[in-house]
Amino acid sequence: MAQEGLFFTGTVLKNNRNLLEEEATRQQLEIQKEQLELQKQAAADKRKEARKKNETKPGSYSLDGMDPFYAEQFQGSVSEYQSFVTDNSMDFDDNPELKNRKLKNEGDLSVNVSRYKSISSDLTSYRNLIKNGKGDKLALAEDGSYLFEYNLNKQKEAVGSGDMTIDEAIKAYPTDVDTIMNRTEWVDPTIALFTADDLPANRKVVSNDGEYEYTEIESDKKDQTQTAIKNSLTVNSQGFHNDPNYKRLYDTKLLTIEGNEMTAKEAFFLEAYVDPETEQVGGITGATNLLDILDPESERFNKEASNAYAEYLAKKISEEGYENRGRKQGGKFVGETSAEKKSREAEEAQMEYNVDTAETIASNETADSQGTGYQTHYDTPGLKVTLEKKNIIETITFADIQNGGSDEATNFKNKAKDAQSGAVSAKVKVMGVTLDSNGIPVVLVKLASDDGTPLAGDAYQVFVRYDILADKIPELSGKNVKQLVNYKKPKADFDPNNHSKG
């Protein structure tokens, strides 16, 4: 029995040792597990810290040069992109899908920033054309506004209402050059009015030369036409023009004032605008800060000033329209016979023009003080009429030049050819009328640039026969010109000291 007891006791001790070993093993495993967890956490913290150091930051994009509408749309896309990058800033290296999405967003933004700035640059160019009086190169929309502004407003409406994305709106309402530039030649609507006024039915007989009657457009008809133009140029009570063609004239008409080309609006401030504070009339140059008062779409629009501008512009347009529609030869005159007329004119011319002119020619020598290579009486009082201030700009051919082989004439031609290679004609300003050494009426002209501005100094002047420019020198030149160019040499037996002879 004793042995049996001892055996049992040994068995118990053995079992206890096994239990202790198992517990130690379990504790060792728990320790190892905790160590592993600590190691994993330390590794995770280390990776997190590394990612934080390499954290991806969103890119930035400049809005400089971008129209406010496109800047607003673009800024929205930039904000979405920046939020996306910030939220996922530490995960791009571990997530290829996120990284690809980021790269695609950045590519889209780069494309759009260039696109929006290009469109904005086009819009600025269109507005500069209008500002510089070149708005006639731009197409008009159905409501009379410029097509680029119309389409831009349509884009804003479509995007603002949510009907379209910005890309869809740009495609539906384009503002590119090919769409916006005017491809159809625009016709000034006032031309048809002046052409109609020039018909025989609207002209009346005002004089005769003994053989033919001469007609002019009735003054009442001119007044009616000018009033009609003024009414069409006037902004209506709703703030727009009834006829888009006249809106174009209102916005883009160019005028030449004292040899300088400018927009009609600038000319209005220079010549006719009445300052409401000082009551000064005109004299305003560089009127950029005042142009808004003539713009019905501006908050500064002034209806009274706009009406005055419409009246001013109508008068200027009418002056241009009737300039070359003056007196015309009509039907045969019934009355004085042709022979009687010629006899009377010869006597009148002999007595009215030749007496003093013949004496002056006989007692004065010709000269060439103007450096033209041609002898005339240009320096003789009574044999010259100065027309420089009349600002008469015409074109002559080199064949019209008197003494065209002179050095002065050659210099004139060469200077003209500097501006246009192979030229055979030149734009000139009429300086005056005189008689040459043979008593023939001639015109002193001075070489002018393409815009009609005469060259500085007294160089590059020549004489041409008066009959070359006779129909282009207006009657406004005065009675003295008429007397001079109608000069006829006295008959052989005519004694200038005795008016009764001849």
d(CA 143, CA 239): 12
Mean pLDDT of 391-403: 90
Cut 0.85: pTM above it: no
Mean pLDDT of 445-470: 84
- Structure tokens of 327? 């007196």
Q: How much is the pLDDT for 276? A: 84
Any bridge partners for residue 281, and if so which? 274
Q: How much is the pLDDT for 305? A: 93
Mean pLDDT of 153-171: 91
Q: CA quadruple 444, 450, 453, 456: dihedral positive or negative?
A: negative
- Rg (Cα) of the chain, in Å, rounded? 45
Greater confidence, 323 or 27? 323
Q: How much is the pLDDT for 49? A: 57
Any bridge partners for residue 441, and if so which? 435
Mean pLDDT of 420-449: 89
- Write the burial class of residue 373 (CB in 10 Å: 0-12 exposed, 13-18 middle, 19+ buried): buried
What number of other Cβ atoms are within 10 A of residue 150's Cβ? 18
Q: CA quadruple 353, 355, 358, 363: dihedral positive or negative?
A: negative
Residue type, 365: E
d(CA 309, CA 241): 14
Residue type, 19: L
pLDDT tens per residue, range 257-269 = 888 888 999 999 9
Mean pLDDT of 92-112: 68
- Write the burial class of residue 462 (CB in 10 Å: 0-12 exposed, 13-18 middle, 19+ buried): buried
Q: What percent of the chain has pLDDT over 70?
A: 73
Q: Which of 43-52, 82-91, 410-419 has the lowest mean pLDDT?
A: 43-52
Band (500; pLDDT cuts 50, 70, 90): very low
Chain center to CA of 302: 23
d(CA 246, CA 452): 27
Q: Which of 2-11, 149-158, 294-303, 452-461 has the lowest mean pLDDT?
A: 2-11
SS3 sequence, 121-168? HHHHHHHHHHHCCCHHHECECCCCCEHHHHHHHHHHHHHHHCCCCHHH
pLDDT tens per residue, range 7-61 = 445 555 555 556 666 666 666 767 766 776 676 666 555 555 545 554 555 555 6
Q: Has residue 431 got a pLDDT over 80?
A: yes
Q: Which of 203, 261, 197, 275 is nearest to 229 (CA)?
A: 197
d(CA 336, CA 348): 15
pLDDT tens per residue, range 120-138 = 888 888 888 888 888 888 8
Chain center to CA of 342: 53
Segment holding 172, helix H or strand E: helix 166-172
Q: Which of 386, 439, 449 is nearest to 415 (CA)?
A: 449
Question: Three-state DSSP class for 472?
Answer: helix
Q: Which of 31-40, 189-198, 261-270, 294-303 has the lowest mean pLDDT?
A: 31-40
Q: Which of 328, 357, 347, 27 is nearest to 204 (CA)?
A: 328
Q: Which of 216, 481, 439, 208 is nearest to 345 (CA)?
A: 208
Cα first-last separation, the chain: 193
DSSP, residue by residue, 274-291 = B-TTT--BS---SGGGGG
Q: How much is the pLDDT for 2? A: 47
Greater confidence, 318 or 132? 318
d(CA 485, CA 463): 14
Q: Which of 178, 182, 173, 169 is nearest to 130 (CA)?
A: 182
Q: CA quadruple 313, 315, 318, 323: dihedral positive or negative?
A: negative
Question: Three-state DSSP class for 252?
Answer: helix
Residue type, 442: V
What number of other Cβ atoms are within 10 A of residue 23's Cβ? 10
Chain center to CA of 156: 26
d(CA 230, CA 209): 37
Q: For residue 134, give every residue at least 6 positions away whose Cβ sits within 8 Å of its Cβ, in sequence order, or none.
A: 252
Q: Which of 99-103, 180-184, 271-275, 446-450 has the lowest mean pLDDT?
A: 99-103
- Write the burial class of residue 77 (CB in 10 Å: 0-12 exposed, 13-18 middle, 19+ buried): middle
CB of 327 within 8 A of CB of 305? no
Q: Which of 380, 362, 382 is nearest to 370 (CA)?
A: 380
Any bridge partners for residue 332, and if so which? 212
Band (381; pLDDT cuts 50, 70, 90): confident
Q: How much is the pLDDT for 54? A: 47
How many residues in the chain? 502
Q: How much is the pLDDT for 291? A: 87
Chain center to CA of 416: 27
CB of 264 within 8 A of CB of 275? no
For 330, phi then psi, to 5°, come to -110, -140
Mean pLDDT of 136-162: 89
Residue type, 219: S
- Structure tokens of 350? 């002999």
Question: Three-state DSSP class for 206?
Answer: strand
Greater confidence, 42 or 201? 201
Mean pLDDT of 304-314: 95
Q: How much is the pLDDT for 422? A: 81
Indicate the average pLDDT of the chain.
80
Q: Has residue 470 got a pLDDT over 90?
A: no
